[in-house]
Structure 1
Amino acid sequence: MPAESACLSCAQDTQDPTRHPENWIASDKHWRISHAVGAAVAGWLVLVPRRHVVTIADLTDEEAAALGTWQVRLSRALHAVTGCAKTYVVQFAERPGFAHVHFHIVPRADGLPEQFQGPRVFALLGKPDQPAIASAEVTRVSAALHAHLQSPPVPATS
């Protein structure tokens, strides 16, 4: 198990949301959300626990309850802001330096080519043949998502 001091996710955590103003979305006492760096998809989010934890089984009940709420809130925000057809929620935490539990919440656009659907969507993150979206677009989408999350929640209809 990697030491907390070697954890890149912990090194990026801060109580100050202005540290990463271009991609910060939201945070609470348990979780922080930002736009993924190097994503070729506008709205690719990363949901990270503030406490160092390397397995979902080690989340506290309070962290787990907040996780479910965040996943739904962020998916709804992505639908509203990006118009995506659905969202993918993915957790592996296997890459060196990123064993810290984290969830990718990825908007899947209608018409996304089949070669990028499902787990293959990771071909759109940090790959030279799929250039990342412009930083201005990251800032715009991040700000829109932040604003959407500040408005009162609208319950889902059945």
Structure 2
Amino acid sequence: MLAIITMPFPPLGAIFATAAAVTAGIALISHLLAKAGGADVSWFSMGLEALGAIPGMASRQSSGTSPESATTSRVPYAARLYPSPSSEAVGFITVALYRLVRVDVAGCLGCDLLAGRHELPGGILHETAAWVVNHVVGPLNLGTLIVGPREHVVAIAELDDTAAAELGPLLRDTARVVETLCRPEQTYVCMWSHGRDARKHLHIAVQPVTAEVRARYGGLRSEQLQARMLADGDEPDIAEVEQFCEQARELFREIARSSAEDRS
């Protein structure tokens, strides 16, 4: 709507139009791919996304900017077209829209957790434009956090620029949270996401391994420890998970506040 209203007022109209086109175009492509893979995506919603890209297409034609100059990033494109203070605002708007148009695949645990179709003890602990952090659901030890993408992404190679740029700092911050709360001998950071017949929704485990945890599993370490945990099937107590998550959530808030102060 903003793209249409501001079309007579360049470059403001071009900025909003570009943000609308990028967001709608990415959503349309993602939903077409998801529907081809069997996801429950309506043709009506994809039609609306196609219409949403029209103002942006017109704006790019009038500004003389070729589509080839766009990258896979959802946020920086408008800022590169018109570098100005308003570009940052457009970036935030685009991120917010990006968070609303995620591909949702029913039956995928990662998607089901985010959509509320599967119980998630402790809830979402922290989130960025492209990622969410929650406690593990399954037979890994208390304090193991999962960093997963909002979108149904099944390979690191498929991450867009926004998700890739956020991943490193987010893994660092998540590791700092579990290190502070658990004081482990080592914090494992690993990803399998490998189903029996296909790749699965990415889920990167940030796992604090203490001396107590190793002793409980006969002194095993690394992949042997994880394999034993998965084979035994012992899941942490839900009440303890909820308590841990409250502490972790507050630590994430403190980290976010500290980062904001450093930037200012």
TM-score (norm 1): 0.80
Which whole-Å CA distance do the structure 2 matches of 1:53 and 1:3 have between them?
15
- 2:238 — aligned with what? 135
Q: Tell me: CA distance 1:121–1:23, structure 2 relative to 1, closer, same or farther (3 Å).
A: farther
Structure 1 or 2, whichever has the larger Rg, is: 2
Amino acid at match of 1:12: L
> 1:1-158 alignment to 2 at 5 Å?
3-4=38-39, 5=105, 6-14=107-115, 20=120, 22-96=122-196, 99-110=200-211, 112-113=214-215, 115-122=219-226, 123-125=228-230, 127=231, 129=232, 131-152=234-255
Which whole-Å CA distance do the structure 2 matches of 1:119 and 1:7 have between them?
24
Does structure 1 retain, via aligned residues, the 8 Å contact 2:138–2:233?
Answer: no
Cα distance per residue 1:30-85 (max 9 Å; x no partner) = 11111112334111111110011111011012101111111100111101011112
Cα distance per residue 1:101-130 (max 9 Å; x no partner) = 1101111113624653111232224x4x35
Identical-residue share of aligned pairs (%): 23
Offset of residue 25 of structure 1: 1.6
Does structure 1 retain, via aligned residues, the 8 Å contact 2:113–2:120?
Answer: no
Higher helix share: 2
Of structures 1 and 2, the one with the larger relative CO (CA 8 A, separation 6+) is 1
Matched residue of 1:151: which SS? helix
Q: Tell me: CA distance 1:149–1:37, structure 2 relative to 1, closer, same or farther (3 Å).
A: same
Cα distance per residue 1:6-27 (max 9 Å; x no partner) = 423122224x8xx735243222
Which whole-Å CA distance do the structure 2 matches of 1:118 and 1:107 have between them?
11
In the alignment of these two chains, the number of paired residues is 150
**CA-atom RMSD in angstroms:** 2.7
When structure 1 is superposed on structure 2, of 31-40 and 41-50 the one drifting more is: 31-40
Matched residue of 1:107: which SS? strand
* Structure 1 residue runs of 4 or more that deviate by more than 4 Å after TM superposition: 1-4
Amino acid at match of 2:206: I
Does structure 2 retain, via aligned residues, the 8 Å contact 1:86–1:109?
Answer: yes
Gaps of at least 5 residues in structure 2 are 1-33, 40-104, 260-264
Which whole-Å CA distance do the structure 1 matches of 2:38 and 2:239 have between them?
35
Q: Tell me: CA distance 1:115–1:66, structure 2 relative to 1, closer, same or farther (3 Å).
A: same
Which whole-Å CA distance do the structure 2 matches of 1:106 and 1:47 have between them?
11
Matched residue of 2:174: which SS? helix
Gaps of at least 5 residues in structure 1 are none
Which whole-Å CA distance do the structure 2 matches of 1:40 and 1:92 have between them?
14
When structure 1 is superposed on structure 2, of 106-115 and 75-84 the one drifting more is: 106-115
